[in-house]
Amino acid sequence: MTKKPIQITEVCLRDGSHTVAHQFTVEQVRNVTRALDDAGMHYIEVSHGDGLGGSTVQYGKSLVNEMELIEAAVDECTNSKVAVLLIPGIGTMSELKQAHKLGAKLVRVATHSTEADVSAQHISQARELGMEALGFLMMAHSVPVDKLVEQAKLMESYGAQAVYVTDSAGALLPHQVSERIKALRGSLDIEVGFHAHNNLSLAVANTLAAIEEGATRIDGAVRCLGAGAGNTQTEVLLAVMDRMGMDVGIDLYKMMDLAEDIVGPLIPGTQEIKKGSLALGYAGVYSSFLLHSERAAARFGLDPRDILMELGKMKVVGGQEDMILDVAAELAKKEKVRV
């Protein structure tokens, strides 16, 4: 397959929703989208952190219905395209159709890296609607490379136009990214993408490793605004790519300005690698589990790292947030017995 130009999807208004406890306002989404569009961003992903339909007690209630946020983002876009995330079992066909009707042009259908078969209907439906439909294999560190290839091939057979290696836990090392991207590139006739988290401070390095192996669909989050320690910092990645002679048509200065002046003030505290997010990458736990684990730890008088380590041993996957309280309660019981 002839290599296509690199396309960047900005995820701060979706993955970043985790960081702000899904409390984005319409005005905030408009301001960020307007600035991203002006800078020339290719795609802007907007939805609940856990994708369409994620506003629930289990995953966290949104301040504003995500359809209002999608509509606002579409209204602000002149050049950029609005994207959404859909996790089958959380998001439904109905919500996909609604998002499309509001103007969303691309959907990433996300499954655990062993469960691509549940994406068939959603990918097919998106293609029928005329949307770009891409596959998103989450927790890609947790399965062997050949299994990842097998699952990516399923998504390709359903009509996916690209498949992402998704490092949901920020646990992959650069050589592991390279081998996964290389394997998919050698096995698929469609584009390959990469989505990183920065829990081990490797998001930019891992993204560059993916690009070097031929990934052309790349994710970033302005100011690292994403779950855990955030995603690949978009403005940093763009600066590095420019130094390497890779021009993707996005204005670096404008990205730097919006990171500082518009996105920065939205972030509660600082988006850096602290002990909780470091534990996510070390234990290989889904990045959006951090806030839930910290809340559970406070409730039961525990160290959130102990909860994350236990979740890592159990090999929990996205969508199992309900297990966090169970694990915390069990650990608290054991702690009480020791005392």
- State how beta strands 43-45 and 191-195 pair: unpaired
175 annotated active-site: no
- Counting DSSP H helices and E strands in the chain, the numbers are 14, 8
Distance (Å, whole) CA 255 – CA 275: 29
Distance CA 55, CA 241 (A): 36
In the structure encoding, which two tokens stand for residue 241, read together?
């790519």
- What distance in Å separates the CA atoms of residue 200 and residue 141, rounded to the nearest whole number? 13
Per-residue DSSP letter, 3:
P
Residue 15 assigned ligand-binding role: yes
- 292 annotated ligand binder: no
CA distance 199 to 141: 13
The region, left, alpha or beta by phi > 0 then psi within -120 to 50, assigned to residue 40 is: left
197 is in an annotated binding site: yes
168 is annotated as contributing to ligand binding: yes
Q: Is 230 left (phi over 0), alpha (psi -120 to 50) or beta?
A: left
Binding-site residues for substrate, in ranges, read 14-15, 168, 195, 286
Q: Annotated active-site positions, please?
A: 18
Binding-site residues, in ranges, read 14-15, 168, 195, 197, 286
Binding-site residues for Mn(2+), in ranges, read 15, 195, 197
